[in-house]
Structure 1
Amino acid sequence: MTDNSDTTTGASQHDTGRRNFLKKGGMLASAGGVAAASSTLGMPAIASERREWRMVTAWPKGFPGVGTNAERVAQLITEMSDGRLTVTVHGAGEVVPAMEVFDAVSSGTVEMGHDASFHHMGKNPIFALFTTIPFGLVGNEYAGWLLHGGGMELWDEAYAEFGLKPFMACNTGTQMFGWFREPIETVQDLRGLKFRTPGLGAAVMSQLGATVVQMPVGELFQAMQSGTVDACELVSPFNDIAIGIQQVAKNYYAPGVIEGSTIVNAVVNREKFNELPRDLQQIVRTACLQGYTDSWAEYTYKNAPAMRKLTQEHGVQLRRVPEEILRAMGDASNKVLTEMRDDGDELTRRIFDSYLSARGGMKAYTSIAEQGFLNARSLDYDYPS
């Protein structure tokens, strides 16, 4: 904006004000000294105020990827605030069970949590859209929708009812379809299969006849080993190798259409967040966003060597999901999502409309840009290795 004020008049007013101030200097000195002393005394008290928060998580303590992401976010908040806001992390079961993070933060039992929104579809099925849905958004598209397409505002509105403030804190990137004891070739092979998967992927697999089992990450190895489940969808090589499922299943399938990109969130008790001064609120936001980009980069880089280790050292067979199954899953996804939107309330429909509009628009460009580039990069030609 152009400033059209009279600078000469402004200078004159400044000089007059300065002379008046100097004339009154003696009279104001004692009052000013008191004011200055009061201000000086007040500042250290504000600056030295310390807050201690607890963060509960859905992951085993120190679990690679999602677990260490929680610890990094907590450390960032603590360091960026110079200790004014200290966050201590607790693994699943240390304070509350893995699937009770949402309730613990909502009730104010703890100040902060770290899990995935699709764990809490019992509160509202629409929460799944803020983690992942079958055939949904990939990582860069998710960030686009949330940060620039109105998704974050809708998420905040959906969680406000429960006294929570959500933040995108982690992205695992595109996941794998899952681990299977026996190879799968047709939709018939899924019928009666005891399959662990969370979120809307569970509803889709149920449509195809699978018997869906829900359980936390920390219970998966035991379940696969004992036969409680026949197959499971976890994350991707970097995480999966740490669980050790390669010891009890050798068929590893891609692409991971159930979770094309998965957001893990940090949630803060809304009342506690609103009590923070604005700079600490921004520190929490910034630390979570840094955690999102850092985790995405970590998964991208570490999945490749983990996959090599699985196939070359553990005898894992990397397999592609048959097209018949992929098409059937796409049709089942359409049915599940359509019913959810039609049966939902006004907020549910607004979230769906925003998500699907973003998916349609970005999918058109992604198929031209990223997918086109990746197809070209996969061609047979000479290149340094």
Structure 2
Amino acid sequence: MTNRRKFLAGAAMAPAAALATPAIAQNKIRWRMQTYAGPALAEHVIKPAIDSFNKIAGDEMEIELFFADQLVPTGELFRAMQKGTIDAVQSDDDSMASPTEVTVFGGYFPFASRYSLDVPVLFNQYGLNEIWDEEYSKVGVKHLSAGAWDPCHFATKDPINSLEDLKGKRVFTFPTAGRFLSQFGVVPVTLPWEDIEVAVQTGELDGVAWSGITEDYTVGWADVTNYFLTNNISGAWAGSFFANMDRYQELPEHLKELLKITMDSSHYYRQWWYWGGEASLRVHGEKMQLTTIPDKEWEQVETAALEFWDEIAAQSETKAKVVEIFKKYNADMQKAGRPYRYNT
């Protein structure tokens, strides 16, 4: 009874709010994550996964999601994350201008993949994960997980039926993809993501080479372009989740595991959403007419890509190592034959 009286007396003296609020809620971990994607696209490429994470994490952790350029411009994402201004990022290395040896391979590295499944296999079975982990650890950032998005196609106002038609076209695309395509007369243009639709309408841009047809329809670009080129310069966009190293290390192990599972679910969602969407919209979409550059002529682009690989490989030992993995992987897929590659 004496102990009980002492407990009740102490409780009466304690502030009511302190007793009413669970301790775990007072210590809730809060992260701010910015994605490369605008609101309409983020509804598919990341929001379902983050909503799921927050629901499961409950009072322990919450990730607040911000869309393209909402907190900082996409090109400043890496620096903001490195400094801890934001805690995590979903982007490709190229777009966020990370100062690593692997930056050039993010986004659409020309013809590094043919299908979306190539990307996770390259990272998980051919050694890219280890290289990315090492490179980002050097600069205080945790590379969390890589996955695939859609292939890279041209969506344009005027039809593209030959390489000649590409000349002079002002196109919104990724840095490395733009550098590669410039040899065919394409004029790469960099603008904030949310300005692209208007830029096509006003004639500032002739088109985009930033996505597949699923995104063209999802974000509104199919409403301002008339043609979709079925040839692509890459089978899948390679993007990743990243986090500030210190903030990541502060997480308890079970939340690190939950984060991993959440990212895996995001990767899986995109695999089927893009794969099905690309086919369905080519067949049933009514907003853009399909055009194709003949295979014989397109071989010039594929040959140029291999030369581009060698140019990149000559720049550093790490880049050479990545290019060698690409070569080995694609050689293996070619030897494996159908359905991995269709030998001709």
TM-score (norm 2): 0.84
After superposition, the Cα gap between the structure-2 partners of 1:309 and 1:186, relative to the gap in structure 1 and judged at 3 Å, is closer
Deviation at 1:47, TM superposition (A): 9.6
SS of equivalent residue, structure 2 residue 95 = helix
Deviation at 1:121, TM superposition (A): 4.8
- Residue of structure 2 aligned with 1:265, choices 227, 231, 240: 240
Aligned twin of 1:129: 105
Q: Provide the C-alpha distance between the structure 2 equivalents of 1:47 and 1:364, rounded to a whole number of angstroms.
A: 55
Deviation at 1:208, TM superposition (A): 1.6
Aligned twin of 1:228: 204
Q: How does 1:171-182 map to 2 (within 5 A)?
A: 171-173=148-150, 175-182=151-158
Aligned twin of 1:60: 38
Deviation at 1:120, TM superposition (A): 3.8
The count of corresponding residues between Structure 1 and Structure 2 is 322
TM-score (norm 1): 0.76
Q: Provide the C-alpha distance between the structure 1 equivalents of 2:134 and 2:76, rounded to a whole number of angstroms.
A: 21
Q: Provide the C-alpha distance between the structure 2 equivalents of 1:281 and 1:176, rounded to a whole number of angstroms.
A: 32
Q: Provide the C-alpha distance between the structure 1 equivalents of 2:75 and 2:149, rounded to a whole number of angstroms.
A: 19
Matched, 1:296 2:271: yes
SS of equivalent residue, structure 1 residue 368 = coil
After superposition, the Cα gap between the structure-2 partners of 1:75 and 1:246, relative to the gap in structure 1 and judged at 3 Å, is closer
SS of equivalent residue, structure 2 residue 239 = strand
Aligned twin of 2:135: 158
Show structure 2 runs of 5+ residues with no match: 1-21
Aligned twin of 2:290: 318
Q: How does 1:91-110 map to 2 (within 5 A)?
A: 91-110=67-86
Greater Rg, structure 1 or structure 2?
Answer: 1
Deviation at 1:349, TM superposition (A): 2.2
Matched, 1:341 2:319: no
Show structure 1 runs of 5+ residues with no match: 1-43, 376-385
Q: Provide the C-alpha distance between the structure 2 equivalents of 1:131 and 1:93, rounded to a whole number of angstroms.
A: 17
Structure 1 residue identity aligned to 2:320:
R
For residues 123-168 of structure 1, give each alpha carbon's deviation from its aligned partner in whole angstroms, at most 9, with x where no partner exists. Answer: 2463232433211122222111211221111111121222111233
For residues 87-114 of structure 1, give each alpha carbon's deviation from its aligned partner in whole angstroms, at most 9, with x where no partner exists. Answer: 0101123211233222211110011111
Q: How does 1:39-118 map to 2 (within 5 A)?
A: 49-61=27-39, 63-64=40-41, 66-118=42-94
Deviation at 1:325, TM superposition (A): 4.3
For residues 303-362 of structure 1, give each alpha carbon's deviation from its aligned partner in whole angstroms, at most 9, with x where no partner exists. Answer: 344344533xx3x21111233542221232123221111022x22222222333223223
Aligned twin of 2:223: 247
CA contact (8 A) 2:168 2:185 kept: yes
Matched, 1:368 2:338: yes
Deviation at 1:372, TM superposition (A): 5.2
Deviation at 1:86, TM superposition (A): 0.7
Q: Provide the C-alpha distance between the structure 1 equivalents of 2:45 and 2:98, rounded to a whole number of angstroms.
A: 25
Matched, 1:204 2:174: no
**Which of the two has greater helix per residue?**
1
Aligned twin of 1:356: 327
Structure 1 residue identity aligned to 2:83:
S
